[in-house]
Structure 1
Protein backbone atom coordinates (compact mmCIF):
# COMPACT_ATOMS: atom_id res chain seq x y z
CA UNK A 1 0.00 0.00 0.00
CA UNK A 2 1.54 3.30 -1.04
CA UNK A 3 0.86 6.93 -0.32
CA UNK A 4 1.71 10.10 -2.19
CA UNK A 5 4.84 12.11 -1.40
CA UNK A 6 2.60 15.19 -1.18
CA UNK A 7 1.14 13.65 2.02
CA UNK A 8 4.55 13.30 3.70
CA UNK A 9 6.42 16.12 1.93
CA UNK A 10 9.76 17.09 3.49
CA UNK A 11 10.08 13.88 5.48
CA UNK A 12 12.60 11.09 4.89
CA UNK A 13 10.78 8.49 2.79
CA UNK A 14 13.46 5.92 1.80
CA UNK A 15 17.14 4.99 2.03
CA UNK A 16 19.14 3.54 -0.83
CA UNK A 17 22.63 2.08 -1.18
CA UNK A 18 24.59 2.94 -4.31
CA UNK A 19 26.80 -0.15 -4.74
CA UNK A 20 29.31 -1.46 -7.28
CA UNK A 21 28.52 -5.15 -6.66
CA UNK A 22 24.95 -5.97 -5.62
CA UNK A 23 25.84 -9.57 -4.77
CA UNK A 24 28.51 -8.46 -2.27
CA UNK A 25 26.00 -6.03 -0.73
CA UNK A 26 23.31 -8.70 -0.64
CA UNK A 27 25.55 -11.13 1.29
CA UNK A 28 26.81 -8.51 3.74
CA UNK A 29 23.48 -6.87 4.62
CA UNK A 30 21.61 -10.16 4.62
CA UNK A 31 24.04 -11.49 7.22
CA UNK A 32 24.41 -8.33 9.35
CA UNK A 33 20.83 -7.00 9.29
CA UNK A 34 18.85 -10.16 8.50
CA UNK A 35 17.38 -8.74 5.32
CA UNK A 36 15.77 -10.71 2.50
CA UNK A 37 15.91 -9.40 -1.05
CA UNK A 38 13.66 -9.16 -4.08
CA UNK A 39 14.54 -8.22 -7.63
CA UNK A 40 12.46 -5.88 -9.78
CA UNK A 41 11.57 -7.32 -13.19
CA UNK A 42 11.26 -3.77 -14.54
CA UNK A 43 14.64 -2.66 -13.18
CA UNK A 44 17.51 -5.14 -13.22
CA UNK A 45 19.92 -2.73 -11.52
CA UNK A 46 17.78 -2.62 -8.36
CA UNK A 47 17.48 -4.87 -5.29
CA UNK A 48 14.78 -4.34 -2.68
CA UNK A 49 15.59 -5.26 0.92
CA UNK A 50 12.79 -6.59 3.12
CA UNK A 51 12.17 -7.91 6.61
CA UNK A 52 9.18 -10.24 7.00
CA UNK A 53 7.95 -9.09 3.60
CA UNK A 54 8.04 -5.38 4.55
CA UNK A 55 10.30 -3.17 2.36
CA UNK A 56 13.07 -1.46 4.35
CA UNK A 57 15.67 -0.18 1.86
CA UNK A 58 16.83 -0.25 -1.72
CA UNK A 59 20.14 -1.03 -3.39
CA UNK A 60 21.12 0.19 -6.83
CA UNK A 61 24.06 -0.87 -8.94
CA UNK A 62 26.34 1.95 -10.04
CA UNK A 63 27.27 1.95 -13.71
CA UNK A 64 31.04 1.37 -14.17
CA UNK A 65 31.48 4.93 -15.50
CA UNK A 66 29.51 6.63 -12.69
CA UNK A 67 31.86 8.70 -10.54
CA UNK A 68 29.50 8.52 -7.54
CA UNK A 69 30.88 7.13 -4.27
CA UNK A 70 29.46 3.92 -2.85
CA UNK A 71 27.22 5.26 -0.07
CA UNK A 72 23.92 5.07 1.78
CA UNK A 73 21.68 7.96 0.79
CA UNK A 74 18.43 9.15 2.40
CA UNK A 75 15.59 10.31 0.14
CA UNK A 76 13.13 13.03 1.10
CA UNK A 77 9.56 13.29 -0.16
CA UNK A 78 8.69 16.27 -2.37
CA UNK A 79 5.54 17.41 -4.20
CA UNK A 80 7.44 18.22 -7.36
CA UNK A 81 10.97 16.98 -8.08
CA UNK A 82 11.66 19.71 -10.66
CA UNK A 83 10.68 22.50 -8.28
CA UNK A 84 12.78 20.95 -5.48
CA UNK A 85 15.77 20.55 -7.82
CA UNK A 86 15.50 24.22 -8.78
CA UNK A 87 15.42 25.18 -5.10
CA UNK A 88 18.58 23.12 -4.49
CA UNK A 89 20.44 24.86 -7.31
CA UNK A 90 19.20 28.33 -6.29
CA UNK A 91 20.69 27.74 -2.83
CA UNK A 92 24.11 26.66 -4.17
CA UNK A 93 23.54 22.94 -3.79
CA UNK A 94 24.15 20.62 -6.73
CA UNK A 95 21.91 18.17 -8.57
CA UNK A 96 24.15 15.31 -9.72
CA UNK A 97 21.55 13.07 -11.36
CA UNK A 98 18.01 13.84 -12.50
CA UNK A 99 15.25 14.46 -11.91
CA UNK A 100 14.61 11.26 -13.85
CA UNK A 101 11.46 9.18 -14.26
CA UNK A 102 11.39 5.55 -13.12
CA UNK A 103 9.34 2.63 -14.39
CA UNK A 104 7.48 2.62 -11.05
CA UNK A 105 5.99 6.00 -11.98
CA UNK A 106 8.01 8.11 -9.55
CA UNK A 107 10.60 10.79 -10.26
CA UNK A 108 13.82 11.15 -8.34
CA UNK A 109 17.06 13.08 -8.20
CA UNK A 110 20.38 12.68 -6.44
CA UNK A 111 21.73 15.94 -5.02
CA UNK A 112 24.26 17.39 -2.60
CA UNK A 113 23.89 20.25 -0.16
CA UNK A 114 26.24 23.25 -0.01
CA UNK A 115 28.77 21.29 2.06
CA UNK A 116 28.75 18.27 -0.25
CA UNK A 117 26.53 15.89 1.78
CA UNK A 118 24.58 13.70 -0.67
CA UNK A 119 20.83 13.21 -0.42
CA UNK A 120 17.95 12.32 -2.71
CA UNK A 121 14.52 13.73 -3.46
CA UNK A 122 11.53 11.62 -4.53
CA UNK A 123 8.17 12.54 -6.06
CA UNK A 124 5.52 9.87 -6.47
CA UNK A 125 4.37 6.98 -4.31
CA UNK A 126 6.11 5.89 -1.11
CA UNK A 127 5.72 2.89 1.19
CA UNK A 128 2.87 3.85 3.52
CA UNK A 129 4.32 2.03 6.56
CA UNK A 130 7.94 3.11 6.04
CA UNK A 131 9.03 5.66 8.62
CA UNK A 132 12.40 6.34 10.22
CA UNK A 133 12.42 5.06 13.81
CA UNK A 134 9.55 2.59 13.48
CA UNK A 135 9.30 -1.03 12.38
CA UNK A 136 12.31 -2.26 10.41
CA UNK A 137 13.11 1.09 8.78
CA UNK A 138 16.36 2.78 9.85
CA UNK A 139 16.37 3.90 13.47
CA UNK A 140 17.75 7.34 12.73
CA UNK A 141 19.21 9.69 10.12
CA UNK A 142 21.99 12.05 11.11
CA UNK A 143 23.53 14.86 9.10
CA UNK A 144 27.13 15.54 10.07
CA UNK A 145 27.78 19.04 8.78
CA UNK A 146 29.90 22.11 9.45
CA UNK A 147 27.05 24.32 10.70
CA UNK A 148 23.76 22.71 11.73
CA UNK A 149 21.83 26.01 11.64
CA UNK A 150 22.97 26.82 8.10
CA UNK A 151 22.12 23.28 7.00
CA UNK A 152 18.66 23.48 8.62
CA UNK A 153 17.95 26.66 6.66
CA UNK A 154 19.08 25.05 3.39
CA UNK A 155 17.03 21.88 3.86
CA UNK A 156 14.13 23.80 5.37
CA UNK A 157 13.83 25.98 2.27
CA UNK A 158 14.30 23.07 -0.16
CA UNK A 159 11.98 20.64 1.65
CA UNK A 160 9.51 23.08 3.24
CA UNK A 161 10.34 22.23 6.85
CA UNK A 162 8.76 24.40 9.56
CA UNK A 163 6.78 26.42 7.01
CA UNK A 164 3.42 26.27 8.78
CA UNK A 165 2.00 24.38 5.80
CA UNK A 166 -0.29 21.63 7.16
CA UNK A 167 1.73 18.42 7.50
CA UNK A 168 5.14 20.14 7.41
CA UNK A 169 7.96 18.61 9.44
CA UNK A 170 8.85 20.52 12.60
CA UNK A 171 12.37 21.64 13.53
CA UNK A 172 13.66 22.25 17.06
CA UNK A 173 17.02 22.89 18.73
CA UNK A 174 17.84 20.40 21.50
CA UNK A 175 21.13 19.51 23.22
CA UNK A 176 23.27 21.43 20.70
CA UNK A 177 21.67 19.80 17.67
CA UNK A 178 18.80 20.46 15.29
CA UNK A 179 16.08 17.80 15.51
CA UNK A 180 13.61 17.12 12.67
CA UNK A 181 10.21 15.73 13.65
CA UNK A 182 7.46 14.20 11.54
CA UNK A 183 4.07 14.20 13.30
CA UNK A 184 5.91 14.89 16.54
CA UNK A 185 8.25 11.89 16.24
CA UNK A 186 12.00 12.52 15.77
CA UNK A 187 13.32 11.27 12.41
CA UNK A 188 16.64 13.08 11.88
CA UNK A 189 19.32 15.06 13.69
CA UNK A 190 21.59 17.72 12.22
CA UNK A 191 24.93 18.03 14.03
CA UNK A 192 27.63 20.64 13.44
CA UNK A 193 31.38 20.28 13.80
CA UNK A 194 32.18 18.20 10.69
CA UNK A 195 35.32 19.11 8.78
CA UNK A 196 35.25 20.44 5.24
CA UNK A 197 34.62 18.36 2.14
CA UNK A 198 38.35 17.71 1.68
CA UNK A 199 38.87 16.18 5.14
CA UNK A 200 41.29 13.24 4.88
CA UNK A 201 38.97 10.84 6.73
CA UNK A 202 35.75 10.31 4.71
CA UNK A 203 33.66 9.80 7.86
CA UNK A 204 34.73 13.28 9.09
CA UNK A 205 33.40 15.02 5.97
CA UNK A 206 29.86 16.41 5.77
CA UNK A 207 27.49 13.52 5.03
CA UNK A 208 24.19 11.91 5.89
CA UNK A 209 24.65 8.95 8.20
CA UNK A 210 22.04 6.14 8.32
CA UNK A 211 21.65 4.33 11.67
CA UNK A 212 20.31 0.77 11.50
CA UNK A 213 19.03 -0.97 14.64
CA UNK A 214 20.28 -4.44 15.56
CA UNK A 215 19.33 -6.58 18.57
CA UNK A 216 22.93 -7.28 19.64
CA UNK A 217 25.59 -4.75 18.64
CA UNK A 218 28.65 -6.88 19.43
CA UNK A 219 27.32 -9.86 17.51
CA UNK A 220 26.39 -7.64 14.53
CA UNK A 221 29.88 -6.09 14.45
CA UNK A 222 31.50 -9.53 14.56
CA UNK A 223 29.26 -10.66 11.66
CA UNK A 224 30.07 -7.49 9.71
CA UNK A 225 33.81 -8.14 10.10
CA UNK A 226 33.36 -11.77 9.05
CA UNK A 227 31.64 -10.59 5.85
CA UNK A 228 34.26 -8.00 4.89
CA UNK A 229 33.21 -4.94 6.88
CA UNK A 230 35.30 -2.98 9.38
CA UNK A 231 34.69 -0.57 12.26
CA UNK A 232 35.82 3.04 11.75
CA UNK A 233 34.89 4.30 15.23
CA UNK A 234 34.90 3.05 18.78
CA UNK A 235 31.58 1.98 20.28
CA UNK A 236 29.79 5.06 21.67
CA UNK A 237 26.83 5.08 24.03
CA UNK A 238 24.28 7.12 25.91
CA UNK A 239 21.72 6.15 28.54
CA UNK A 240 19.65 4.02 26.18
CA UNK A 241 21.72 3.05 23.11
CA UNK A 242 25.15 1.80 21.98
CA UNK A 243 26.34 2.44 18.43
CA UNK A 244 29.34 2.10 16.14
CA UNK A 245 30.13 3.30 12.61
CA UNK A 246 31.29 0.70 10.07
CA UNK A 247 32.39 0.43 6.48
CA UNK A 248 30.77 -2.27 4.39
CA UNK A 249 32.96 -4.35 2.01
CA UNK A 250 32.73 -1.60 -0.66
CA UNK A 251 33.54 1.17 1.84
CA UNK A 252 30.01 2.57 2.27
CA UNK A 253 29.63 4.00 5.77
CA UNK A 254 26.75 3.03 8.06
CA UNK A 255 26.07 3.04 11.78
CA UNK A 256 24.67 0.13 13.77
CA UNK A 257 22.83 0.86 17.00
CA UNK A 258 21.29 -1.35 19.67
CA UNK A 259 19.49 -0.80 22.98
CA UNK A 260 21.71 -0.88 26.05
CA UNK A 261 21.27 -4.18 27.90
Structure 2
Protein backbone atom coordinates (compact mmCIF):
# COMPACT_ATOMS: atom_id res chain seq x y z
CA UNK A 1 0.00 0.00 0.00
CA UNK A 2 1.75 3.14 1.17
CA UNK A 3 5.54 3.43 0.89
CA UNK A 4 5.75 3.45 4.69
CA UNK A 5 2.40 1.97 5.56
CA UNK A 6 1.13 -1.62 5.51
CA UNK A 7 3.11 -2.51 2.40
CA UNK A 8 6.40 -1.17 3.67
CA UNK A 9 7.45 -0.26 0.14
CA UNK A 10 10.15 2.35 -0.36
CA UNK A 11 9.25 4.64 -3.25
CA UNK A 12 10.69 8.01 -4.20
CA UNK A 13 7.47 9.39 -5.67
CA UNK A 14 4.30 9.38 -3.59
CA UNK A 15 0.86 10.91 -3.80
CA UNK A 16 -1.89 11.29 -1.22
CA UNK A 17 -4.91 9.02 -1.26
CA UNK A 18 -6.92 12.23 -1.58
CA UNK A 19 -5.71 12.38 -5.19
CA UNK A 20 -6.86 8.83 -6.06
CA UNK A 21 -9.73 8.38 -3.60
CA UNK A 22 -12.03 5.45 -4.34
CA UNK A 23 -9.47 3.67 -6.53
CA UNK A 24 -7.64 0.44 -5.69
CA UNK A 25 -4.21 1.37 -4.34
CA UNK A 26 -2.62 -1.93 -3.18
CA UNK A 27 -3.12 -5.70 -2.82
CA UNK A 28 -1.89 -7.91 0.00
CA UNK A 29 -1.72 -11.65 0.63
CA UNK A 30 -2.05 -13.19 4.08
CA UNK A 31 -0.50 -16.64 4.30
CA UNK A 32 0.74 -19.09 6.93
CA UNK A 33 4.23 -19.59 5.56
CA UNK A 34 5.98 -16.50 4.25
CA UNK A 35 9.01 -18.36 2.89
CA UNK A 36 6.84 -20.84 0.97
CA UNK A 37 4.74 -18.02 -0.48
CA UNK A 38 7.85 -16.17 -1.62
CA UNK A 39 9.25 -19.25 -3.36
CA UNK A 40 5.91 -19.92 -5.01
CA UNK A 41 5.17 -16.44 -6.34
CA UNK A 42 8.80 -15.86 -7.21
CA UNK A 43 8.76 -18.89 -9.51
CA UNK A 44 5.23 -18.37 -10.86
CA UNK A 45 5.20 -14.60 -11.38
CA UNK A 46 8.90 -13.70 -11.41
CA UNK A 47 8.69 -11.54 -8.29
CA UNK A 48 11.58 -10.60 -6.02
CA UNK A 49 11.06 -9.82 -2.35
CA UNK A 50 12.31 -7.31 0.19
CA UNK A 51 11.49 -6.99 3.89
CA UNK A 52 8.72 -4.60 4.82
CA UNK A 53 8.95 -2.11 7.66
CA UNK A 54 6.33 -4.02 9.63
CA UNK A 55 8.78 -6.73 10.69
CA UNK A 56 10.05 -10.16 9.69
CA UNK A 57 6.53 -11.51 9.09
CA UNK A 58 5.98 -9.13 6.15
CA UNK A 59 7.59 -8.63 2.75
CA UNK A 60 6.99 -6.69 -0.44
CA UNK A 61 7.01 -8.25 -3.90
CA UNK A 62 8.80 -6.41 -6.71
CA UNK A 63 8.89 -6.88 -10.46
CA UNK A 64 11.54 -4.94 -12.36
CA UNK A 65 12.26 -3.04 -9.12
CA UNK A 66 8.69 -1.74 -8.92
CA UNK A 67 6.44 -2.85 -6.02
CA UNK A 68 3.65 -5.25 -6.91
CA UNK A 69 2.05 -6.50 -3.70
CA UNK A 70 2.51 -7.14 0.00
CA UNK A 71 2.70 -10.54 1.70
CA UNK A 72 2.18 -11.07 5.42
CA UNK A 73 2.37 -14.20 7.56
CA UNK A 74 -0.65 -15.19 9.65
CA UNK A 75 -0.21 -16.44 13.18
CA UNK A 76 -0.39 -20.24 13.12
CA UNK A 77 -3.27 -20.35 15.62
CA UNK A 78 -5.55 -17.96 13.72
CA UNK A 79 -8.44 -19.68 11.94
CA UNK A 80 -8.31 -17.35 8.94
CA UNK A 81 -8.16 -18.48 5.33
CA UNK A 82 -5.19 -17.42 3.23
CA UNK A 83 -6.43 -14.83 0.74
CA UNK A 84 -5.55 -11.91 -1.49
CA UNK A 85 -7.13 -8.61 -0.39
CA UNK A 86 -7.39 -5.34 -2.33
CA UNK A 87 -7.10 -1.96 -0.61
CA UNK A 88 -8.93 1.16 -1.75
CA UNK A 89 -7.76 4.74 -1.25
CA UNK A 90 -9.81 7.01 1.02
CA UNK A 91 -9.09 10.50 2.26
CA UNK A 92 -10.55 9.82 5.73
CA UNK A 93 -10.53 6.28 7.16
CA UNK A 94 -12.91 7.17 10.00
CA UNK A 95 -15.50 8.55 7.61
CA UNK A 96 -15.20 5.47 5.37
CA UNK A 97 -15.60 3.12 8.35
CA UNK A 98 -18.71 4.99 9.47
CA UNK A 99 -20.19 4.68 5.98
CA UNK A 100 -19.49 0.93 5.98
CA UNK A 101 -21.23 0.45 9.34
CA UNK A 102 -24.21 2.56 8.25
CA UNK A 103 -24.66 0.30 5.21
CA UNK A 104 -24.45 -2.99 7.19
CA UNK A 105 -20.86 -3.77 6.31
CA UNK A 106 -18.44 -5.21 8.90
CA UNK A 107 -15.29 -3.77 10.45
CA UNK A 108 -12.79 -6.53 11.19
CA UNK A 109 -9.72 -4.46 12.13
CA UNK A 110 -9.06 -0.75 12.51
CA UNK A 111 -8.66 1.91 11.58
CA UNK A 112 -5.07 1.28 12.67
CA UNK A 113 -2.46 4.06 12.62
CA UNK A 114 1.08 3.54 11.32
CA UNK A 115 4.30 5.41 11.98
CA UNK A 116 4.13 6.89 8.50
CA UNK A 117 0.97 8.72 9.41
CA UNK A 118 -1.16 6.43 7.27
CA UNK A 119 -4.22 4.61 8.56
CA UNK A 120 -5.81 1.35 7.43
CA UNK A 121 -8.84 -0.83 8.16
CA UNK A 122 -9.80 -4.34 7.10
CA UNK A 123 -13.53 -4.55 6.42
CA UNK A 124 -16.22 -6.54 4.60
CA UNK A 125 -19.20 -5.56 2.48
CA UNK A 126 -22.76 -6.65 3.40
CA UNK A 127 -22.30 -9.97 1.57
CA UNK A 128 -19.01 -10.71 3.33
CA UNK A 129 -16.46 -9.86 0.61
CA UNK A 130 -13.31 -8.65 2.40
CA UNK A 131 -11.42 -5.53 1.36
CA UNK A 132 -9.23 -2.87 2.91
CA UNK A 133 -9.20 0.91 3.04
CA UNK A 134 -6.08 3.07 3.26
CA UNK A 135 -5.64 6.74 4.16
CA UNK A 136 -2.18 8.21 3.62
CA UNK A 137 0.40 8.15 0.86
CA UNK A 138 0.63 5.65 -2.00
CA UNK A 139 3.20 4.91 -4.67
CA UNK A 140 2.45 7.30 -7.52
CA UNK A 141 3.19 4.73 -10.25
CA UNK A 142 1.24 1.82 -8.71
CA UNK A 143 -2.03 1.53 -10.57
CA UNK A 144 -4.23 -1.43 -11.47
CA UNK A 145 -3.88 -2.23 -15.15
CA UNK A 146 -0.50 -0.50 -15.48
CA UNK A 147 3.04 -1.87 -15.13
CA UNK A 148 3.52 -4.67 -12.60
CA UNK A 149 0.35 -3.89 -10.63
CA UNK A 150 -2.55 -6.36 -11.01
CA UNK A 151 -4.19 -6.47 -14.43
CA UNK A 152 -7.53 -5.90 -12.74
CA UNK A 153 -9.65 -6.68 -9.70
CA UNK A 154 -12.91 -8.60 -9.79
CA UNK A 155 -15.71 -8.71 -7.23
CA UNK A 156 -17.66 -11.95 -7.41
CA UNK A 157 -20.90 -11.30 -5.58
CA UNK A 158 -24.60 -12.05 -5.37
CA UNK A 159 -25.81 -8.87 -7.06
CA UNK A 160 -23.33 -6.57 -8.77
CA UNK A 161 -25.71 -3.61 -8.91
CA UNK A 162 -26.39 -3.79 -5.16
CA UNK A 163 -22.65 -4.09 -4.53
CA UNK A 164 -21.93 -1.08 -6.75
CA UNK A 165 -24.36 0.99 -4.69
CA UNK A 166 -22.60 -0.01 -1.46
CA UNK A 167 -19.07 0.63 -2.73
CA UNK A 168 -20.15 3.79 -4.51
CA UNK A 169 -21.50 5.24 -1.27
CA UNK A 170 -18.48 4.15 0.81
CA UNK A 171 -15.74 5.08 -1.68
CA UNK A 172 -17.47 7.98 -3.46
CA UNK A 173 -17.66 6.35 -6.86
CA UNK A 174 -19.67 8.14 -9.55
CA UNK A 175 -20.30 11.24 -7.44
CA UNK A 176 -20.07 14.90 -8.35
CA UNK A 177 -16.72 15.15 -6.57
CA UNK A 178 -13.94 15.98 -9.06
CA UNK A 179 -11.56 13.08 -9.67
CA UNK A 180 -13.89 10.30 -8.57
CA UNK A 181 -13.91 6.88 -10.24
CA UNK A 182 -16.53 6.31 -12.90
CA UNK A 183 -18.98 3.40 -12.94
CA UNK A 184 -20.71 1.89 -15.98
CA UNK A 185 -22.80 -1.19 -16.70
CA UNK A 186 -21.18 -3.05 -19.59
CA UNK A 187 -21.95 -6.54 -20.91
CA UNK A 188 -23.74 -7.73 -17.76
CA UNK A 189 -21.08 -6.45 -15.36
CA UNK A 190 -20.35 -3.26 -13.49
CA UNK A 191 -17.04 -1.73 -14.58
CA UNK A 192 -15.08 0.70 -12.40
CA UNK A 193 -12.84 3.14 -14.27
CA UNK A 194 -10.11 5.45 -13.03
CA UNK A 195 -9.34 8.28 -15.46
CA UNK A 196 -11.22 6.31 -18.09
CA UNK A 197 -9.23 3.07 -17.65
CA UNK A 198 -10.92 -0.07 -16.24
CA UNK A 199 -9.52 -1.09 -12.84
CA UNK A 200 -12.23 -3.37 -11.40
CA UNK A 201 -15.22 -5.41 -12.50
CA UNK A 202 -18.19 -6.39 -10.36
CA UNK A 203 -19.91 -9.59 -11.44
CA UNK A 204 -23.15 -11.19 -10.29
CA UNK A 205 -23.05 -14.95 -9.99
CA UNK A 206 -23.71 -18.10 -7.96
CA UNK A 207 -22.14 -17.52 -4.55
CA UNK A 208 -23.02 -18.88 -1.12
CA UNK A 209 -23.63 -16.22 1.51
CA UNK A 210 -22.02 -17.21 4.80
CA UNK A 211 -19.94 -19.93 3.16
CA UNK A 212 -16.55 -20.73 4.71
CA UNK A 213 -15.14 -21.72 1.34
CA UNK A 214 -13.21 -18.90 -0.35
CA UNK A 215 -14.12 -20.42 -3.72
CA UNK A 216 -17.90 -20.07 -3.26
CA UNK A 217 -18.36 -17.07 -0.96
CA UNK A 218 -18.54 -13.47 -2.24
CA UNK A 219 -14.98 -12.20 -2.63
CA UNK A 220 -12.59 -9.82 -4.31
CA UNK A 221 -10.38 -11.66 -6.77
CA UNK A 222 -6.99 -10.47 -8.08
CA UNK A 223 -5.72 -10.98 -11.65
CA UNK A 224 -1.95 -10.80 -12.28
CA UNK A 225 -0.20 -10.63 -15.64
CA UNK A 226 2.53 -13.08 -16.69
CA UNK A 227 4.42 -13.35 -20.01
CA UNK A 228 3.12 -16.89 -20.69
CA UNK A 229 0.61 -19.12 -18.92
CA UNK A 230 2.02 -22.63 -19.38
CA UNK A 231 5.41 -22.06 -17.70
CA UNK A 232 3.67 -20.28 -14.83
CA UNK A 233 1.18 -23.15 -14.40
CA UNK A 234 3.98 -25.73 -14.44
CA UNK A 235 5.94 -23.79 -11.81
CA UNK A 236 2.82 -23.49 -9.65
CA UNK A 237 2.11 -27.22 -9.73
CA UNK A 238 5.72 -28.14 -8.92
CA UNK A 239 5.63 -25.88 -5.85
CA UNK A 240 2.35 -27.15 -4.44
CA UNK A 241 -0.23 -25.01 -6.20
CA UNK A 242 -2.98 -26.23 -8.49
CA UNK A 243 -5.30 -24.95 -11.18
CA UNK A 244 -8.98 -24.65 -10.31
CA UNK A 245 -10.22 -23.67 -13.77
CA UNK A 246 -9.54 -24.44 -17.39
CA UNK A 247 -7.57 -21.96 -19.46
CA UNK A 248 -10.09 -19.48 -20.86
CA UNK A 249 -9.61 -16.94 -23.62
CA UNK A 250 -11.27 -14.11 -25.47
CA UNK A 251 -10.18 -12.00 -28.42
CA UNK A 252 -7.23 -10.41 -26.59
CA UNK A 253 -6.10 -12.57 -23.65
CA UNK A 254 -5.95 -15.97 -21.93
CA UNK A 255 -6.32 -16.64 -18.22
CA UNK A 256 -6.45 -19.40 -15.61
CA UNK A 257 -7.36 -19.45 -11.91
CA UNK A 258 -5.11 -21.18 -9.38
CA UNK A 259 -4.70 -21.85 -5.67
CA UNK A 260 -1.31 -21.29 -4.07
CA UNK A 261 0.10 -23.88 -1.59
CA UNK A 262 -1.87 -22.29 1.27
CA UNK A 263 -5.14 -22.21 -0.69
CA UNK A 264 -5.28 -18.53 -1.70
CA UNK A 265 -7.08 -18.00 -5.00
CA UNK A 266 -5.76 -15.78 -7.79
CA UNK A 267 -5.85 -15.60 -11.59
CA UNK A 268 -2.98 -15.35 -14.06
CA UNK A 269 -3.62 -13.64 -17.37
CA UNK A 270 -1.57 -12.93 -20.48
CA UNK A 271 -2.22 -11.22 -23.78
CA UNK A 272 -2.61 -13.41 -26.85
CA UNK A 273 0.19 -11.53 -28.56
CA UNK A 274 2.75 -12.36 -25.87
CA UNK A 275 1.69 -15.88 -24.83
CA UNK A 276 3.41 -18.40 -27.07
CA UNK A 277 2.63 -21.42 -24.88
Equivalent residues of 2:28, 2:70 under 8 A apart: yes
- Alignment equivalent of 1:145, drawn from 136, 146, 157: 157
> SS where residue 215 of structure 2 aligns?
helix
Contact 2:128/2:210 (CA < 8 Å) preserved in 1? no
1:195: Cα distance to partner? Answer: 1.4
> How many Å apart are 1:197 and its aligned residue?
2.5
Which residue in 2 is equivalent to 1:99? Answer: 111
In the TM superposition, 1:4-153 aligns within 5 A as: 4-153=16-165
Distance in 1 between residues matched to 2:52 and 2:76, nearest whole Å? 20
Structure 1 SS opposite 2:155 = strand
Which residue pairs with 1:191 in the alignment?
203
What is the TM-score normalised by the length of structure 2?
0.91
**Structure 1 contact 42–103 (Cα < 8 Å) conserved:** no
CA contact 2:156–2:202 (8 Å) conserved in 1: yes
SS at match of 2:142: coil
For structure 2, list consecutive stretches of 5 or more residues without a partner in the other structure.
Answer: 1-12
Instruction: Describe how 1:207-218 pairs up with structure 2 within 5 A.
Output: 207-218=219-230
Report the aligned-residue RMSD.
Answer: 1.3
Q: Secondary structure at the match of 1:152?
A: helix
Q: Which residue of 1 aligns with 2:241?
A: 229
TM-score for both structures, normalised by structure 1:
0.96
Aligned to 1:248: 260
Secondary structure of 2:162's match? Answer: helix
- In 1, the alpha carbon distance for the partners of 2:155 and 2:14 equals 27
Deviation at 1:60, TM superposition (A): 1.2
Note the alpha carbon deviations across 1:147-175, whole angstroms, 9 max, x for none.
00000000000000001100100000000
Provide the rounded CA distance (Å) in 1 between the counterparts of 2:181 and 2:38. 33
Mapped to 2, the partners of 1:219 and 1:113 lie a distance apart of 36
CA distance in 1, matches of 2:207, 2:92: 32
Q: CA deviation at 1:259?
A: 1.1
Q: Is the partner of 2:71 in helix, strand or coil?
A: strand
> What per-residue deviation string (whole Å, max 9, x for no partner) do you get for residues 190-239 of structure 1?
00013122458532321001000011111111111111100111111111
- Which whole-Å CA distance do the structure 2 matches of 1:166 and 1:228 have between them? 46
Give distance in 2, aligned partners of 1:13 and 1:251: 24
Whether 1:2 aligns to 2:14 is: yes
The alignment partner of 1:120 has SS state of: strand
Deviation at 1:68, TM superposition (A): 2.7
2:8 aligned partner: none
Q: Deviations over 1:82-125 (max 9, x none)?
A: 11111111111101111101233311011111111110000001
Measure, in 2, the Cα distance between the counterparts of 1:124 and 1:68: 27
Against the structure 1 CA distance between its residues 54 and 252, is the aligned structure 2 distance closer, same or farther, given a 3 Å change threshold? same
The corresponding residue for 1:173 is: 185
